[in-house]
Amino acid sequence: MPSYSYISLIPLLPLAGFVILGLFGRKYFKNASGIIGTGLLLISTVLALYTGYQYFFIDGKADDVYRSIMPLKYTWLQFNGHGAGQDTGVSIDMSVILDPISVMMIIVVTFVSLMVHVFSLGYMKGEERFPTYYAFLSLFTFSMLGLVLSGNLLQIFIFWELVGVSSYLLIGYYFDRPSAVAASKKAFVVTRLADLAFLIGILILAFYSGTLDFITLTDRLTSPTAELFSITTQSFLGVTMLSWALSLIFIGGAGKSAMFPLHIWLPDAMEGPTPVSALIHAATMVVAGVYLVARLFPVYDFAISAGLDLVTYIGAFSALLAAVIACTQTDIKRVLAYSTMSQIGFMMFALGVSGYGRMEEQLGYTASMFHLFTHAFFKSLLFLGAGAVIHMVHSNEMKDMGGLRKLMPITHICFLIACLAIAGIPPYSGFFSKEEILLAAFNNNKFVYAIGLVTSALTAFYMFRLYFSIFWAREPHVHGHHGEGTMSMKIPLIILAVCSALAGFVPFGKFVTANGVPLEPHFNIIFAIAPVALAVLGIWAATVLYKTENNRPAAIASSLGGLYRAAYKKFYIDEIYLFITKKVIFNLVGRPAAWIDRHIVDGFMNMLAAVTARTAEAIKGLQSGKVQSYAFYFFIGVAGLAVFFVLWYSNLVVL
C-alpha cells in the first residue's frame, strides 16, 4: 500500500506561494510573481493528478469498493467522552481524508486554478499590485485544497472561513472602487451569517456523536445502535435534533453556494477581476456547499425526516429562480453568475433526490458529482472567455459588444463549445452529467424533474442569448487594436475547451459513488430525447431573437411587462434585505442595544466612579491635618476594640 505522504504538499505549496509572494513579492518579485505562483501550482497539480491516478487506479479499492483513507492524522486536543460506549470524546485534530470525492476535488481545484494562473499572466499584466494578486490566488488555492482534504468537521470549518477571507480579499482587489468594497463586504457578511448556522450544526453533531472526525461520525450516526439514537429522539420545537443539525449545516453550505435566499452576494461578487470569478465563483468556492452535503451524505440520508428534502427544494427553486433572472440581465458577468447559481441548484437537488445503498437510488449522488466535475471546466471556460472579451472591449455590457467572432476567433470557438456543453447538447460533457441528474430526479421526484426540464430549457436559451449578443448581433465597435490577447490567455481557453468537450466520456460512475461501490452508467437514449429537444428549442428561440439585431426581444419584454421588470430587478430580493436590515433590525435591535450600552452599561460604570468620588469627598475630612482629631479617632478605635474584647471574653458576643 503506497504511502500518500506527499499529500500534505498539495495544499502547502500554494501556502508557501502566498507567504513568499505576500511578504517579498512587492519588493523583489514584481514581474516574476506570476511565474512563481504558477510554477508552485503546477507542481501541486502534478501531485494531485498523481494522487488521483494512485487512488483510482491502483490503490483505492479494497474488495472492489472505494474506501476512505486517512493518511495523516495529528491529534491536537483530546477530550474525555461521557456517553455510553464512548471512551474518548471529541478530539480536535488535523487530518487528511482521501476518498473518491476528495480526490476528484483536488484534481478539479488544482487544474482550474492552474488555468486561471496562466490566464492571469496575460490578463493582469501591467497591474500595479500584480504580486498581491498572485499571493491572494495562492492563498485561496491553499484554503480550498485544505477544505476538500479536511478529515474532520472543525478543520473543514477552519478552511471554510479561510476560503471566505480569500474570497473577500479577491473580490475587493480593486479596493479604490467603492462598489468593489461594498461587494466584498456583502459576500463576507452573508457567508459569515450562514457560517454561524454551520457552526451550531457542527456543535450539535459533535455533541451527540462524540466525535468530529468524518469517518467515525458517519459510522456512529448511521449505525442502528440504540445509544446514539438520542439524536433522533430528542427534539426541539418539534423537530429532531438530527434534522436541526443537518438543516443548520445545510444553511451554512447554502450561504457559500449561493442558494436562495443567501444568493445575494454572488452577482455583486463579479466586481472582482474576471479570472477570480472564474476560479472562485464558478468552479471551486461555490461548490463548497455541495461538497459539504456530499461529505456528510450518509448522515443526510439516514435522517428520518427533512434531511434531504430541504436540500432538494432549495436547490430546485434556486435553479429556476436564477435561470429566470439570467434571461434578463445585460451585464455578461452577471448572466454567468446567475448561471452558476442555477447549475449549483442542479447539483444540490441531484444530491437531494439521491438515496444511499441501492444501486438505482444512488444515481443522484454520482450525477451531482459528475456535474460538479464538468461544470468546473465549462463554467471557468465561460468566465475566462468573458474575461478575454472584456479585455478587448473594456466594458461588461452586452450593448458594447457584438460581432466579435471576426476579431477573436479562438475565443469564439471555445466559448461556443462551452455554451453547447452547458446547454446539454451531445456529445459535449454537460449533456452526460445533466442527463444523469434528470434521470435521478425522474426516478425519485417527478415534480423536481419537471423543474429541472424547464430550467434546462431556460439555460440553453439564456446562454445562447449571451453567445449571440457577444459574437453575432451587430458589427463590432472596436477594431482589434490590440488583438485577441496574449498566448497565455489563449492556451487555457483551448485546454479547457478540450476538457469540456471530452470530459463527458469519463466513466464517472466507476469512480465516484456514494458508498464506494462502482456504478455502471446506463445510457437511456429514449429518456435523453426530452431534455435535448428542449435545449434545441431554447437555442432556436435565442437564435431567432438575438442572432441579428432586431426589436423582437424588446417587444416580448414589454408584453411581459411587470414580470420582466421584476426579473430584471432580480425580484427585488436585495431591496427586501435592505428593508429588513435598515428598518427592522437597526430600529428594533440596533437602537435599543445602543441605548442600553450607552445608558445602562456605561451609566453603571459612571455611577460607580461618581459614587467613589462622592464618598471620597465625604470622608476626606478625616485627614484634616489636625493632630488632635487623629488622637481622638485613635482613642475611639482603642475603646471600641476594648469593649469588643471585653464582651467577647465574657461570652456576650459570639464570633
Partner 1 sequence: MSASAIVFYILGAFILGTGLLAVTTRKIFRSAVWLLFSLIGIAGFYFWLQMEFIAAVQIIVYVGGIVVLIIFSIFLTQQSGKEMPKPPLARTVLSIVAACFGFALTYYLISQYSFTAPLNPAMDASISNIGTQMLDATTEGYVLPLEVVSVLLLAAMIGCIVIAMKVKTQDK
Partner 2 sequence: MNDIPLGHILALSTALFFIGMYGLFTRRNMITILMSVELILNSVNINFVAFNKYLYPDKLGGVFFSVFIITIAAAEAAVAIAIIINLYRSHQSIDVEDAGEMKF
Q: Which of 74, 481, 620, 651 binds partner 2 (CB under 8 A)?
A: 620
Instruction: Report whether 33 contacts 25 (CB < 8 A).
Output: yes
Instruction: Report whether 402 contacts 138 (CB < 8 A).
Output: no
620 binds, among partner 2, partner 1, none (CB under 5 to 8 A by kind): partner 2
**What is d(CA 655, CA 652) in angstroms, rounded to the nearest whole number?**
10
Does residue 653 bind partner 1 (CB under 8 A)? no
Q: Which residue has the cell 485627614?
A: 623
**What is d(CA 67, CA 52) in angstroms, rounded to the nearest whole number?**
14
585 binds, among partner 1, partner 2, none (CB under 5 to 8 A by kind): none
Give the shortest CB-623-to-partner 2 separation in angstroms: 5
Q: Which of 200, 17, 237, 24 is nearest to 113 (CA)?
A: 17
Burial of 232 (0-12, 13-18, 19+ CB in 10 A): middle
Give the shortest CB-590-to-partner 1 separation in angstroms: 59
**What is d(CA 14, CA 139) in angstroms, rounded to the nearest whole number?**
7
Does residue 627 bind partner 2 (CB under 8 A)? yes
643 binds, among partner 1, partner 2, none (CB under 5 to 8 A by kind): partner 1
Terminal Cα-to-Cα distance of the chain (whole angstroms): 78
Does residue 628 bind partner 2 (CB under 8 A)? yes
Distant-in-sequence, close-in-space partners of 282: CB < 8 Å, separation ≥ 6: 336, 340, 375, 376, 379, 380, 382, 383
Q: Which of 632, 644, 645, 648 binds partner 2 (CB under 8 A)?
A: 632
Does residue 544 bind partner 1 (CB under 8 A)? no
DSSP one-letter code for 213: B
Instruction: Report whether 472 contacts 403 (CB < 8 A).
Output: yes
Kindly provide the b/e burial profile for residues 193-214, where b requires at least 16 CB atoms within 10 angstroms of the residue's own CB.
ebbebbbbbbbbbbebbbbbbb
Q: Which of 611, 631, 646, 647 binds partner 2 (CB under 8 A)?
A: 631
Does residue 23 bind partner 1 (CB under 8 A)? no
**What is d(CA 336, CA 379) in angstroms, rounded to the nearest whole number?**
8
Closer by beta carbon to partner 2, 526 or else 618: 618
Instruction: Report whether 10 contacts 51 (CB < 8 A).
Output: yes
Closer by beta carbon to partner 2, 606 or else 612: 612
Instruction: Report whether 373 contacts 499 (CB < 8 A).
Output: no
Q: Which residue has the cell 469564439?
A: 412
Does residue 479 bind partner 2 (CB under 8 A)? no
Does residue 196 bind partner 1 (CB under 8 A)? no
623 binds, among partner 1, partner 2, none (CB under 5 to 8 A by kind): partner 2
639 binds, among partner 2, partner 1, none (CB under 5 to 8 A by kind): partner 1
Give the shortest CB-635-to-partner 2 separation in angstroms: 7
Give the shortest CB-645-to-partner 2 separation in angstroms: 18
Which residues, numbered 584-643, are part of the site for partner 1 (CB under 8 A)? Answer: 628, 632, 635-636, 639, 642-643
Of the listed pieces 89-97, 128-136, 393-401, 621-629, which binds partner 2 according to CB under 8 A?
Answer: 621-629
5 binds, among partner 1, partner 2, none (CB under 5 to 8 A by kind): none
Helix (H, G, I), strand (E, B) or coil at 425: coil
Question: In the complex, which residues of this chain contact partner 1 (CB under 8 A)?
Answer: 628, 632, 635-636, 639, 642-643, 646
Interface with partner 2 (CB under 8 A): 620-621, 623-628, 631-632, 635
